Structure 1
Amino acid sequence: MSRVLAGDVGGTKTVLAIYKAEKGELAEICKAIYPSGKHSCFEDLIAEFLGEDSSIDCAAFGIAGPIKNQCCVTTNLPWTIDAKTIQQTFNIEKVHLLNDLESAAYGILQLDSFHELNPNAIEQSGHIAVIAAGTGLGEAILFFDGEQHHAMPTEGGHCEFAPQNEFEDHLLLFLRQRFQGHVSIERLLSGDGFGNIYDFLKSIEFAKSDMELEKRMQSEDRNALISQTALEDHDLLCSQALKMFCRIYGAEAGNLALKTLPLGGVYIAGGIAPKIKQAMKDGLFMEGFLDKGRMRHAIEQIPVRIVDNPEAPLLGAAYFASQRIK
């Protein structure tokens, strides 16, 4: 039996857990959640979690930030996380840093419960594509070599937004003025995307804005308020913003599918999808996904699934660590 330390490191919270790894199976021993900002460095947080327990064979951490030479300057924290420093400080033989979406991709391999969006899906083995809208937009690929999957992180969320119709053409022009040039798909498929789409609809007077709702936006989380109001179908502007979000999300997932031909499926991870699951199941997401002209046939039977287990990145880090034990 081996013991692995796994972590999901985010700007708001960090989750650490110890797992027992035996015969390819993982069993959780203990887990704790910490507010990230209350610790001056990542090593202090690990020390608090481990206490006197130092019998760790391998560790892996999924981190919100770019990994270079097994070192990461975190995106939303004043931390520099270095694998070698952790290795030496805690006497752990192997320590690995992963991009958070890379660890989420590996985590998907450990899950067996999803929400299927494609009624024509056919179960097959092959590459897997992962797209995750949350604070930003992440995209990753799980390359299948015939026996195992290998995660490949990308910066696909920073590719250009590509409109699919004339209405979306006007949305692009609006955002190009707002952001003075380049408009990445992340400007739409992220938490801030709801506000950007709402502002566009308001600018063209798609519907009359609700003054009471606008007032609440001054003191509440604007993007969450827009999506929640849309789900309750209480406001035309919010409802249309959510519909456009779902269709554009589907279109980008379809773009990723065309680029990677993931016969193993496209998995929709991140914090937003579970919250708007019902809207995504209403058809607009798949409409955008399949709107690929003469290449529709290439992706119309690919499974398209919502991942609603928030522990996917943690499980992915644990899996990655367990595979690297001698």
Structure 2
Amino acid sequence: MTAAALIADIGGTNTRLALAHGRELDVASIKRFRNADFANFEAVVAAYLPQVGTPAIDGACVAAAGPVVDGVAELTNIDWTLDIPTITRAAGTSHVALLNDLQAPGHAIGHIAPEGLVPVIPAAQPAAPEATALVVNVGTGFNAVPVHATPAGRFVPPSESGHVNLPIRTEADLRLSHYVDDSHGFPAVEEVLSGRGLENVYHWHCAETGAAPELRGSDIIAAAEGGTSPQAVAAVQTFLRFLGTVSGNLALEHLPFGGVFLVGGVAVGLERLLGTGAFAEGFRDKGRFAGFMGDFSVTLVRDDRAPLIGCANHLHELHTA
């Protein structure tokens, strides 16, 4: 078997491993492992490689759920040490890279098959090939990163965009801000725009109307789609408007003429509702810059392999630089 790159996407609960040849991800090689079943990352790799024929490994790139500082990942919900020496030992190669789990999809932009992309808002003009893009993650948490093309290769800087203050436009927004502030100590964007954030918004709408909160997680989205709960419908519309507002704010900060790309489980779960108007209204609600917002397209990334695709592309770029 020819040499391959080892690609990993480490979440709080599961780790996905795959092989790649150059930029090409070997889709058939993707396997998922429960983190709780293994003492460390090296043990996961040791279990994985025999399942794919024990290939020679000539490089490795890992995306980790948590901030990466000076080559060390602070993993969320798992007591593993993950750094460059650990990856080197596990993969048996010195050609390694470590990204956080949002930088990885940034490196996938432009390399995802069209069937994995869902247009949400078109741009007034086609994007230039090397234009800056913006990746916005809505899942267990919220974060966003710009994606820059540079002469030295693609640059995707880390960020903690979910922990800035929630933007306030109306009296109702202020009441919601006070609600999540009272419940969680700080009215951060992530307290509204995340999995738990959707539940927070739903509970707030229930409190506003005197209804008993009976739904959780994806059930809120399902009830909003079916129109079976006025509170769920209102919660999803509020969520989408805030998502549009925050994404639009970030677009003005980073000028992503290459497009805004929504990733993450909550964003994908809202696919059928993203086009209902609230998201686009929030995105374009920028006063005299409302027209300028038409220069930014918005696309939903439906392909959950984006972190793996991004790792493969980042590693290939490092090897060919």
Map of 2:290 onto structure 1 = 296
Map of 2:76 onto structure 1 = 75
- In the TM superposition, what whole-angstrom CA distance separates every residue of 1:279-303 from its partner, at most 9, and x where no partner exists? 1111110100000112223322211
Aligned length: 313
> Which residue of 131, 139, 142 corresponds with 1:134?
139
Within 5 A, what are the aligned runs for 1:58-73? 58-73=59-74
> Which residue of 313, 316, 319 corresponds with 1:322?
316
CA positional deviation for 1:176: 2.2
CA distance in 2, matches of 1:320, 1:2: 17
Contact 1:11/1:76, CA 8 A, preserved across alignment? yes
CA distance in 2, matches of 1:89, 1:38: 17
Contact 2:244/2:278, CA 8 A, preserved across alignment? yes
CA distance in 2, matches of 1:146, 1:94: 21
CA positional deviation for 1:26: 4.8
Task: Identify unmatched segments of 5+ residues in structure 2.
Answer: none
Contact 1:58/1:93, CA 8 A, preserved across alignment? yes
- In the TM superposition, what whole-angstrom CA distance separates every residue of 1:43-72 from its partner, at most 9, and x where no partner exists? 100111113725111100111011122122
Q: Describe the shift of the 1:233–1:26 C-alpha distance in structure 2 as closer, same or farther (beyond 3 A).
A: same
Contact 1:6/1:17, CA 8 A, preserved across alignment? yes
What TM-score comes out, normalization by structure 2 length? 0.91
Q: Does 1:278 align with 2:272?
A: yes
> Which residue of 261, 272, 277 corresponds with 1:267?
261
CA distance in 2, matches of 1:283, 1:148: 37
CA distance in 2, matches of 1:224, 1:61: 29
CA distance in 1, matches of 2:243, 2:172: 16
Within 5 A, what are the aligned runs for 1:110-121? 110-113=111-114, 114-121=117-124
Map of 1:186 onto structure 2 = 190
CA positional deviation for 1:31: 2.1
Task: Identify unmatched segments of 5+ residues in structure 1.
Answer: none
CA distance in 1, matches of 2:153, 2:113: 17
Higher mean C-alpha deviation, range 159-168 or range 251-260: 159-168
- In the TM superposition, what whole-angstrom CA distance separates every residue of 1:155-206 from its partner, at most 9, and x where no partner exists? 11111101222221221122222233x211000000011221122212222x
- In the TM superposition, what whole-angstrom CA distance separates every residue of 1:113-132 from its partner, at most 9, and x where no partner exists? 22212244422121001101
Contact 2:142/2:194, CA 8 A, preserved across alignment? yes
CA positional deviation for 1:104: 1.2
> Which residue of 149, 154, 163 corresponds with 2:159?
154
Query: Structure 2: which amino acid aligns with 1:284?
Result: A
Q: Describe the shift of the 1:123–1:131 C-alpha distance in structure 2 as closer, same or farther (beyond 3 A).
A: same
Query: Structure 2: which amino acid aligns with 1:39?
Result: F
Cα-Cα RMSD: 1.9
| Seq. identity, % | 29
